[in-house]
Structure formats: structure tokens, C-alpha cells
Chains A and B, each alone.
Chain A
């Protein structure tokens, strides 16, 4: 969609970004959540898997800041560990999609004969409902971690492929590509040392932004029961567990949903700000 938006030097964009208070807030929130997820075992004294049935569905209190879930587990602890799982799935899926999409985009720009076919396929993938990837993979591999990661990867792949192709095409027009070719470098070094080394910044930026969608998809598939199975703490499945007790203890679903919402919203706000900063420079 925005093939050429992110090209060029980043420092001026960055300065413009820092002046935007929204960016500071979103970035701060994300860093906070990421740190809390990483250091979860040190932040809470509760065990995310040990059940205490006498303590089930307790509302928030001094001991359990967010209350307890249907198995009597501390909800805040579950959420911290759940954020860990969900963010990890998002990372792994996005990384997988970035590798695949990046390779496709670079190859499409480098081997011009492949371009038409590759981009046609990418267009189809781009419009395909990402939930269908999740459904098909869960049906083939069975619900679980690997099908989740592949599904998330396939859904972020087409966007990254487009950005990579755009970035790579502008690098291909540079003189040093011709120079490299004329001194007889093999395609392998041209692709890796010349093309990738110069085209990667916009690809990296876009990949970071695709992360929000990746998290939302992972959580949605988790909610549908197509992801990790209970008792694994994962934000989407925590929201689904709470659904059975929606009327007596709405806090379980609500807390998990709000956390997902905040993570995804922060990423999307960052993405919008970055796109605006890029656009203004272009015009």
C-alpha cells in the first residue's frame, strides 16, 4: 500500500516522531508491557498454573490485585504470563513472515522475471482473510503453537513482501548495484551484501508495525480455541475462559481483552505516526 513511504534517511523522521506526544505514550506503554512480560516470574509471587479452587472468581482485592480466575489463579499473574506467550507468538510469527516476505520481495526486485508472478500471488494473499489462514492451519496441523506461528507469519508476509520489493527496487536503481555486477560478483553477494544491506531499514520498520496485527490475530485465534490449549496462559484463551463466567465474574475476560487492546492500539498509533511523518517528508 505504501511502498515508497519509508525510504530515505530516518533521522529527520525520528525527530518529527519524538515531537508527537502520542508516540511517546504508545512507546512507553509498549516498553512497560514488554518489560513486565519478560520479568513476570520476578514481579509476582503467584504461580500461573497452580489452582486454588476455594479462591475461584474472587473480585480484585489487596492480595489479588485483579482478582482470581475460574481456577483460583491470580489473574494479574495469568495476564503477565499470558502477555509473555502472546507477545512471543507475535514475535515468532512476525519473524517468520518477515523472513518469507523479505525474501520474496528482494527476489522479486532482483530477478525481474519473477516479479509478475510473485506480486500477483502476494496480491491474493494480501486480501485473503487472515483468520482463514488460522482456520486452515489449525485444521491441518491441529490447534497449537506451530499452526499459530505459521498462520500469523502468513498473514503478515504479504505486506512485508510489498515493502521489501519497493525498497529493493529503489536500491536496484543505484549505481553501486551495476558496479557490483560489472566486477563479476555472484548473485548471492549482490543480494546479501548489496541489496539487503541497503534495503533493510524500511523493511525493519514495517515489520515492527505489522506486529500489532500479528498480536491481534494470535489473540483472536487463541480466543476461538485454535491456539494453545488450556491451561497455558495466553491472552486470547484467558479471555475465552472468562467467557463462561461472564455474568458472575466479568473481570477475567475484560482484563485480558483490555490488555490485548492496549498492546495492539499502541502499535497502530505508532504505525500511523510513522506513516504521517514519512508522508510529510515526501510531500
Chain B
């Protein structure tokens, strides 16, 4: 198990290095020469040359990459070219709202999807089953931004919920009402796929030998489903939910933009459009690393939760 985890971690490190390389390349293609920018309009050629030497821009590019990595690791991602704010500080400020939004979306969407999936698996071909299948196909086909726009139209007409920005901490009524719409929109992406996976996995589990045994010894239907079938089905479902984090993150970028939610996704899109390269590379590195980290965590949890531990190499 340890070997498996280490190998996984090794791959993730390589991917992380790739992500950093992309971030580095992003800074290489900046149209403006940073040395010229620092020297200002009155800078002489000698001054520019001196700044360039001071920044290490005259060194081989590979060496610059190594420096770049060491800077990123210590949390120094440079300054925004728009408002000179520290990229790391801005990212830290935006991380909270994004995590908040993703958790809020999962808190309602995952249980709903599980319930729908279980109901669908119990009555294959029934009304709930067909509904789940229809909803899941539509869920993966609908543009996330349209769901958001429809909600905004609805909320504006009824004046029931705020449609822009974050209203403060979640334990206040103001904060809660602000997160309601974006969290609903983001969660909707998740319901279809997760319900579908639950349905498939659970119907397989319901036909397994040990479930038949449980039925044979006279266990009640509720007990059979919850204790015997669902428990074995839960592990693959957890893995699949973990894999949906990527989808959720992509959706978060869109929902944050639509609802002006002050998160990392909106920061990334905004900085790319305004040409704020340092901020854009910071936000992208941040999102990618967070994604990789979550995936490793899901892997580890899975290994730990798997009762067949040790039987696999």
C-alpha cells in the first residue's frame, strides 16, 4: 500500500512540476520586459542592464526556472501588474470564498444525488430511475452559465435573493442568503453524474453474492440495502465523487464569474482578460495544485478505507 501511495505521490509531483513549468512559461511570454518596466521611461540602457543582472534575467533560462520554483515554494509569486498587490496575498484572500462555495455546493448536492441514486437503483426502470437518467444527461449537457443566468433572472424578478458577491461569513443571515444561488448552481453540476454513479454501483452491489446471502438469512430489505449493499458500494462512490472535484472546480470558475463571487476562479479569469500575467499564473498554479492535492487525499482516504488492505500490492 505504501509503495502504491508513493508511486501515486511521485506522479503527482511530476504533474506539479509540469504545472510550474507552464506557470513559468506564462511569465516568459509577457510582452513587456520587466527590467524596462522597473527602470521606467527615463531608464538608460545601462540602468536596464543593471536591473536585468540584478533580477537574474541574463542567466540561462534553466537556472531561472529553478529560481522560479524556489520562489513559488516559499510563497513569492510576484506582484500584480495592475495594482501591485502581492499575488500570494490576493490568492490567500480568494481561497476561502472558493472553498466555501465548493463545500456549500457539495453539502446539498452529494446527499441529494446519493438519495436519488439509491432510489433509482432500487426500482430499475421506474419513474425515479428514468428521472435520474434524464436529469444526469441534461446535467452534463447544460452550459453552467445558463443555469446561473436563469437563476439570476428568477431572483431578480422575485427579489428573493441577492445575486452578486459574498455577504460575509456563512453564519450570518446575509452571508447565507448570498451563497444560496451560486451554491445551488454549482451543486446542480454534481447531482447528475453522482446520482448516475450511485445507481450503477449500487445495482451491481444489489446483485452480489453476499447481498443474496443477507436476504436469504431473512434480513429486512432496509437492512439489506443500507448495511450490506450500500456499504460495499460506498467505496467506489467515494472515489468517483473525488474524481468529480475537477468538474466542480471548472464549474466554480464559471459560477464565481457569473455571481461575482470573490474566489480564485474569478481572479484567474479576470487577470487573464486584463493581461495581469503574474496574477494569472499564480491563480492557475493555485487551482492546479489544489486539484492535485485533493486527488492525492482522495487516494489516501481510499487506501485507508478499503477493508481489503494489504491484499493488493
Contacts and interface: CB of A to CB of B under 8 A. Distances in A.
B145 interface: yes
User: Interface SS of chain A: helix, strand, loop or mixed?
Assistant: helix
Nearest to B273: A225
Given A140-B29, A250-B153, A226 B254 contact: no
B269 A135 contact: yes
Contact of A132 (B145, B153, B249, B258): B249
A216 B143 contact: yes
Contact of B246 (A129, A140, A261): A129
A131 to B, nearest CB: 4
A226 B291 contact: no
Interface in A123-142: 124, 127-132, 135-136, 138-141
Contacts of B153: 246-247, 250
A225 B269 contact: yes
B208 interface: no
Nearest to B271: A139
Contact of B145 (A120, A138, A239): A239
B144 interface: yes
B201 interface: no
Given A129-B246, A138-B272, A265-B138, A253 B291 contact: no
By CB atoms of chain A within 10 A, which of B142, B153, B250 has the most? Answer: B250
Interface in B133-186: 137-138, 140-146, 149, 152-153, 156
B272 A143 contact: yes
A224 B143 contact: no
A47 interface: no
Given A129-B249, A129-B250, A268-B137, A226 B269 contact: yes
Contacts of A136: 22, 26, 284
B253 interface: yes
A48 B141 CA distance: 27
Interface in A97-136: 120, 124, 127-132, 135-136
Bin chain A's interface residue count.
35 or more
B257 interface: yes
B254 A223 contact: yes
Contacts of B146: 239, 253-254, 257-258, 260-261
Nearest to B145: A223
Interface in B167-217: none
A220 interface: yes
A219 B145 CA distance: 10
B106 interface: no
A258 B138 CA distance: 12
Contacts of A216: 141, 143
Interface string B272-286: 110001001101100
B243 interface: yes
Contacts of A226: 269, 272-273
A272 interface: yes
A47 B119 CA distance: 52
A139 B11 CA distance: 25
B143 A265 contact: no
Contact of A224 (B29, B140, B269): B269
Nearest to A224: B269
A212 interface: yes
Contacts of A247: 153, 156
A24 B280 CA distance: 45
Interface residues of B, number: 41
B194 to A, nearest CB: 15
Given A140-B22, A143-B272, A219-B143, A253 B149 contact: yes
Contacts of B137: 265, 268-269, 272
Interface in A242-283: 243, 246-247, 250, 253-254, 257-258, 260-261, 264-265, 267-269, 272
Contacts of A220: 143-145, 254
Interface string A203-242: 0000000001000100110011110000000001001100
Contacts of B149: 239, 243, 246, 253-254, 257
Contacts of A267: 141
Contact of A257 (B143, B253, B273): B143
Contacts of A224: 253-254, 257, 269
A223 B273 contact: no
Contacts of B29: 140-141
A202 B160 CA distance: 50
A139 B277 CA distance: 7
Given A132-B284, A224-B253, 17 more contacts: A124-B15, A129-B246, A131-B250, A135-B253, A136-B26, A139-B272, A139-B277, A139-B284, A141-B29, A224-B269, A226-B273, A246-B149, A250-B153, A254-B149, A257-B149, A264-B141, A265-B138
19 contacts: A127-B243, A128-B288, A129-B250, A131-B254, A132-B291, A135-B253, A135-B272, A140-B26, A216-B143, A220-B145, A226-B269, A246-B156, A250-B153, A254-B146, A254-B149, A260-B146, A261-B141, A264-B142, A269-B137
Interface of A: 120, 124, 127-132, 135-136, 138-141, 143, 212, 216, 219-220, 223-226, 236, 239-240, 243, 246-247, 250, 253-254, 257-258, 260-261, 264-265, 267-269, 272
